[in-house]
Structure 1
């Protein structure tokens, strides 16, 4: 049996109401302050606060609203997820050459730069690596093919 997945009742509000949650990470605020800070209508803030309160991500204390621990954790996880998906998206061209069952870790893509050599400059990626290598404390790489074998000795 597979573990339960977060449904749209959690993911969609995080996506649509992220600005409000991010603002509340800065500190509690009243609805009028949220309207000004987020530059939106009062009805939008009312709906967003109500939706996030129902999820337990926002709590009301007197006339102010604050993010809850659950809300903070949800925002952190959402940021991580978006960052991971952006890393995958940025590497899509490179990943097209990787077999679907290859043992990959997302950590290989985080903060990675990918180079797709142009026909007129097939060694561009290797030259970039050679340029950065003296200042690097680590290097992780994946290449589909080595264009010119003599570069191996230079690197």
Structure 2
């Protein structure tokens, strides 16, 4: 296994070289992780030349990612784990690239983007808008408790969801509105805001909040939403994390 005393890994392991080998020889490593293979099988299944397979197997052996087994080759435990983490990292990078506009809006709201690490992204652009709004509506309506910081509301349906949750009885809500938002809602939806304020278990507050919305829901399963907004007030999307271990 390749080791270098001045590498960036621990105990002299060159972690960058290790990672690079996994990335470079990913297809061969994946084949060996699935089941032990002869070189001729790798040549046929992966449509690589003999010389390419020879080099790939040699590099995987040298890195400790593969081993010989009764004339065949198979992935080691380190190889299987390295492959798993490599694929997970690639997936995370794809997710970040796909949600760049949402993450930028979160960062602009002075929130650490790590708050959305491991979260599920829901976009509100194009055909995804109704599905995302319906998901958030359903979550709010069914929650036993809602705690929210609300700089904006991208759709009046969300306000209606808070009203429905309050009407169920036996629920609690703590909603903190940005001053400009509350003023707008009182002017446009006076009856709805009045009903919400009068409901048992509901407390409405007016305060300066982040430009990013935060909604925490408790019920059959806990969930937390981070809702991003553009400068124009539209929401490019939101993320949610949940915990169903209660």
Give the shorter-chain TM-score range. 0.7 to 0.9
Q: CA 1:130–1:56 in structure 2 vs 1: closer, same or farther (change >3 Å)?
A: same
Structure 2 residues not aligned, in runs of 5+: 1-7, 10-14, 143-149, 163-246
Trace 1:74-93 onto structure 2 (pairs within 5 A): 74-93=82-101
Could you tell me which of 24, 35, 40 is aligned with 2:43? 35
Alpha-carbon shift at residue 25 of structure 1 (Å): 1.4
Taking the aligned partners of 2:125 and 2:57, their CA distance within structure 1 comes to: 49
Q: Which residue of 2 aligns with 1:20?
A: 28
Q: Which residue of 2 aligns with 1:152?
A: 159
Trace 1:102-117 onto structure 2 (pairs within 5 A): 102-103=111-112, 104-108=115-119, 112-117=120-125
Q: Which residue of 2 aligns with 1:71?
A: 79
Q: What's the Cα RMSD here?
A: 3.3
Structure 1 residues not aligned, in runs of 5+: 136-142
Taking the aligned partners of 1:45 and 1:134, their CA distance within structure 2 comes to: 57
3-state DSSP of counterpart to 1:28: coil
3-state DSSP of counterpart to 2:37: coil
Higher relative helix content: 1
Higher relative strand content: 2
Trace 1:96-135 onto structure 2 (pairs within 5 A): 96-99=104-107, 102-103=111-112, 104-108=115-119, 112-117=120-125, 124=130, 125-127=132-134, 129-130=136-137
> Which structure has the larger Rg?
2
TM-score scaled by length of structure 2:
0.49
Please say if residues 140 and 161 of structure 2, whose CA atoms lie closer than 8 Å, have aligned partners that are also in contact.
no
TM-score scaled by length of structure 1:
0.74
3-state DSSP of counterpart to 1:147: coil
Alpha-carbon shift at residue 93 of structure 1 (Å): 1.4
- For these two proteins, the number of residue pairs brought into alignment is 142
* 1:10 and 2:18 matched: yes
Q: Which residue of 2 aligns with 1:139?
A: none
Taking the aligned partners of 1:94 and 1:144, their CA distance within structure 2 comes to: 16
Alpha-carbon shift at residue 114 of structure 1 (Å): 2.8
Please say if residues 57 and 67 of structure 1, whose CA atoms lie closer than 8 Å, have aligned partners that are also in contact.
yes
Taking the aligned partners of 2:89 and 2:24, their CA distance within structure 1 comes to: 15
Q: CA 1:32–1:115 in structure 2 vs 1: closer, same or farther (change >3 Å)?
A: same
